[in-house]
Amino acid sequence: MQYLRKRAGLNQHQLGDAIGYSLEQVASVEQGRRPAKAAFTAAERALEAGGVLEALQGEVDRAKLPRFFRNFALFEAEAVSRFDYEPSLVPGLLQTEAYARALFAGHCPPLNEEAIDRHTEARLGRQKLLTRVPLAELSFIIGEEALRNPVGGKEVMRGQWQHLMELGALRNMEIQIMPAACGSHPGLNGPFVVLETKDHQHLGYIESQEVGCVVHNPAEVSAFGLRYGKLRSQALNGVESLRLIERLAGET
């Protein structure tokens, strides 16, 4: 970045004016102290970078993600299918900005505002998968408790319920709710993801307390798939799930 700026004969202040960044923000990006926002690719035009910065944007976006998640993010971005079971929270790919920001604001130890902005932007950036072409086959099973937990307050949850109803209309998307009173089921040990890569390799992913693990062992991934199939049969179907979300929205 610094090389391209100097080649263009600009100082940091001039580049900032050209792309809507402050002097401090330009300096932070050049020194690697903060990843560039997607809008920073406007520097392509100002610096006549010939596509160099745009080509690097994917790497920059991944740098905003938590370190433990980055390996899985490489597979996720190009997934053919992704099946997600999440009992306690609305899955990250389905979160509204307000919901995600409320979660990061409650992080322990506390995050500063810049970190909250960065993590929120990174999470929303991952949501390109939902409408990416070619479409990925997506399935989400969400615990009813996750929908009833008022993360961020009533207004945030109202927006989140509405967002889920809109996403449920996508033809590559299935959202199911696991009832709170379902009893014993294969998801009681915690959340997990089953993913098929563009090379048709099947992977699993588990995460807890900011520790993530990509599972490659075929036998273990097969067990994940069997559990997910069982969960789909025990959860509410798509229509029933939509009705439950609508009912929750109507109660507020």
Q: What pLDDT is stored for residue 38 in this prediction?
A: 59
Residues of the chain with pLDDT under 50: none
Q: What pLDDT is stored for residue 64 in this prediction?
A: 80
What's the predicted TM-score (pTM) here?
0.84
Q: What pLDDT is stored for residue 76 in this prediction?
A: 97
Among 81, 100, 79, 97, smallest CA distance to 89 is for 100
| Cα distances (Å, whole numbers) of residue 37 to 60, 133, 237 | 8, 23, 38
Q: What pLDDT is stored for residue 37 in this prediction?
A: 67
Structural tokens at position 238: 């798509």
For residues 95 and 152, the answer to whether their CB atoms sit within 8 Å is no
Q: What pLDDT is stored for residue 21 in this prediction?
A: 83
pLDDT digits (tens, 9 = 90+) for 17-58: 888 888 888 888 888 777 776 556 678 788 888 887 777 777
